[in-house]
Amino acid sequence: MALTEKLADATEALITAYPAPQGEGKWATDARSNALATLRENGAPTRRDEYWKFTNPSTLIGTASSAAIMHAEEKPVFDDIDKLLVVFVDGVYRADLSDDLTIEGAAIETLQDAMAKDIHWAKDVYGVLEANGQSPVSRPLAALNTATATEGLVIHVTGKVSKPVAIRYVRQNTDTDVMVHHAVKLEEGADITVLENGPAAARFNSCLEVDVADTASFHHARAQGRDHERCAATHMFARLGKESSFKSFTLTVNGALTRNEAVIEFTGDDAMASVSGACAGDGAFHHDDTVFITHDAVNCESRQVFKKVLRNGATGVFQGKILVQQIAQKTDGYQIAQGLLLDDDSNFLAKPELEIYADDVICSHGSTVGAVDETALFYLTSRGVPKAEAQDMLVLAFMDEGIQEIEDEAIADDIRERLGAWVERRRD
Amino acid sequence: MLKITNLKASLEEEDKQILKGIDLEIGEGEVHAIMGPNGSGKSTTSYVLSGKGGYVVDEGSATLDGVDLLDMEPEERAAAGLFLAFQYPVEIPGVGNMTFLRTAVNSQRKARGEEELNAAEFLKLVREKAKSLKIDADMLKRPVNVGFSGGEKKRNEILQMAMLEPKMCILDETDSGLDVDAMKLVAEGVNALRDGKRSFLVITHYQRLLDHIKPDVVHIMSAGKIIKTGGPELALEVEHNGYADLLNEVA
């Protein structure tokens, strides 16, 4: 069988594995059929694709693992933060466990409710940003998500929302294969913080599309759940207007396979975006951050800051691209991805890319990989700090540059606490 | 207090002996100075005593109040009362100076079976000590030594020393990179810790630090050995005549 036929078969198998939603409004049906067409055109991901070289997509598209062990969290991340809580159990929205969705400055609906309507503002966001993000690099699992996801939130932000909307993914069954899709539209000057936490499912596919209008601000922090054998493919698509800002941070501890994609496009001048993350992996852990930032406007700043601590054969992957179009003068692009290997068995694979067509830009990128700094370790121990504790301090310090990208101190401190506990649990 | 007997040590990576038989005894409350040309093994002595990796002890012993230092981990040596003020204090981005100090102080207290200081007690103590060293609140909040000037780094070393209250302090070229005023400030900090019990080993190239921290005994080191021992006048002799005469004298 020819390669193309094989791929077509794999793609059809993927499509048939997920039932097509029925009885939805016209806009939803259109969005889904567009996504299906994209998926058929690009095909399911394979190891031969350039951006899947470091991460094997087969576990993300084959039969979902049924044995993924569930981890009981003592206390959910962001629990102490004043928030509007929205709970999904095994990928299904649960009104009984969630706060009332009414909040000043935003209209929050479930995706299901929005899709039932014939006309909805979400038609300008849902599947639209995702479709924009399909070139030059295809993202088949995102297209699949758009085509089939029935759970999620659609949030229309018109003002400054006083507290974060915190989405909590609870996992109850072992063999869950879950898809969630959120669409957020911020009007001019609007401001919202969205938090996500929890393991969601044995296999999780999520999409978050964020349309940030001029002068609006979107803040996002998430903690991917601690279930050891879970796997996840997440996608973020953002479009940024003039003088807007977008900040997203991801904490990942545990999980067998995590692929986090972020696709950001600057369409208005003087905007800023930051995509950052800290991950800590032990053993069977593969973590992939794939970021694509397009500067298509003047004087925008983008930052990518990723820190990965790896031990016992864990693997960290970073693929980050900054594309600066010809009109995007005065672009300031910063990209750093660093791996801290706590032993010789772990791996950090990095592929930083810059593609620049404008001549008046500052773009810097750095990828480093190394072990714990012996000189710093000696300095700390010479002051009486026990070696294990000193190493923990250095590991946390290493990840802190990523955490510093979070604007809200309470959120940042919650993340620090989680990482501190992780590090402490794994003392030699 | 500190007793070093026939200490011989080599670099781990290359088969090169740096210390070739050091004998040194520092009594309670005494201040000793080690002077010597570059490459004579002064800094190596401080590293081997404090337990830095990369060195192998070939022979000899070093004890602090009768306890064998060379068998211990660096943190155990610190808890036993040894302190090394680094020639080049290490910058540690991401670790707050306060957090570091408090962890260090409480780790040592814990190791010695003493009660740990709570946040309020610690804060009070550190503010008091920092004030006399002209270390402001901002320096305490910043990451360890990051963005500190040469003088600030050395003052930070002395602050750590003041907080940890060691029995035996080794100062490795604490005067390097300091202007006259900064050196005075550091020396004052050190002198404030001289209480008749605490002992000091001051490693330096130059006599001028010893104008401010007056030693009881001065040792001249060369090629991994102490070649001459005398009073403070020995430091003055070096200042006037350099090391050449002394080296010839011994040869």
Q: Which residue has tokens 């002992």? A: B199
- The pLDDT of residue A67 is 59
Alpha-carbon gap, residue A206 to A180, rounded angstroms: 5
A391 in any annotated domain: no
A385 in any annotated domain: no
Judged against a pLDDT cut of 60, whether residue B193 lies above it is answered with: yes
Using CB atoms, pick whichever of A374, A389, A398 lies closest to residue B94.
A398
The CA distance from B100 to the nearest CA of chain A, in Å, is 8
A173 in any annotated domain: yes
Q: What's the order of all strands across the beta sheet hosting A102-103? A: A102-103, A106-110, A153-157, A177-186, A203-212, A231-240, A257-266, A286-295, A315-324, A347-356
- The pLDDT of residue A1 is 54
- Least CA distance to A381: which residue of chain B? B75
Alpha-carbon gap, residue A309 to A426, rounded angstroms: 12
A383 in any annotated domain: no
Average pLDDT over residues A360-388: 95
Judged against a pLDDT cut of 70, whether residue A69 lies above it is answered with: no
- Give A296's contacts (C-beta < 8 A, 6+ positions apart): A265, A266, A267, A325, A327, A328
The DSSP annotation for B41-103 comes to: SHHHHHHHHHT-TTEEEEEEEEEETTEESTTS-HHHHHHHTEEEE-SSPPPEEEEEHHHHHHH
A137 in any annotated domain: yes
Judged against a pLDDT cut of 80, whether residue A73 lies above it is answered with: no
Using CB atoms, pick whichever of A376, A385, A397 lies closest to residue B107.
A385
> Structural domain tally of chain A?
1
Residue pLDDT, tens place only, A352-362: 999 999 999 99
Residue pLDDT, tens place only, A29-67: 999 999 999 999 999 999 999 999 999 998 898 776 655
A377 in any annotated domain: no
A386/B contact by beta carbon, under 8 A: yes
Q: Which domains does chain B have, with CATH numbers?
A: 2-94+168-250 (3.40.50.300)
Q: Which residue has the higher pLDDT, A231 or A2?
A: A231
At residue A236, what is the residue type?
Answer: M
Are A376 and B164 a contacting pair at CB < 8 A?
no
Alpha-carbon gap, residue B77 to B86, rounded angstroms: 15
For the question of an ipTM over 0.90, the answer is yes
> Which percentage of chain A shows pLDDT scores above 70?
97
Collapsing DSSP to helix, strand or coil, A189 comes out as coil
Judged against a pLDDT cut of 60, whether residue A68 lies above it is answered with: no
- Under the banding of pLDDT at 50, 70 and 90, the label for residue A79 is very high
Judged against a pLDDT cut of 60, whether residue A330 lies above it is answered with: yes
A379/B contact by beta carbon, under 8 A: yes
Average pLDDT over residues B24-44: 94
A60 in any annotated domain: yes
- The pLDDT of residue B242 is 83
Alpha-carbon gap, residue B174 to B83, rounded angstroms: 13
* Parent domain of A142: 9-372
- The pLDDT of residue A144 is 97
Alpha-carbon gap, residue A47 to A60, rounded angstroms: 12
> Which percentage of chain B shows pLDDT scores above 90?
76
Residue pLDDT, tens place only, A308-319: 999 999 999 999
- The pLDDT of residue B153 is 93
H or E element in which residue A387 lies: helix A387-403
What torsion, rounded to 10 degrees, do the Cα atoms A226, A227, A232, A235 define? -30
B52/A contact by beta carbon, under 8 A: yes
A389 in any annotated domain: no
Contact, A189 vs A212, CB < 8 A?
no
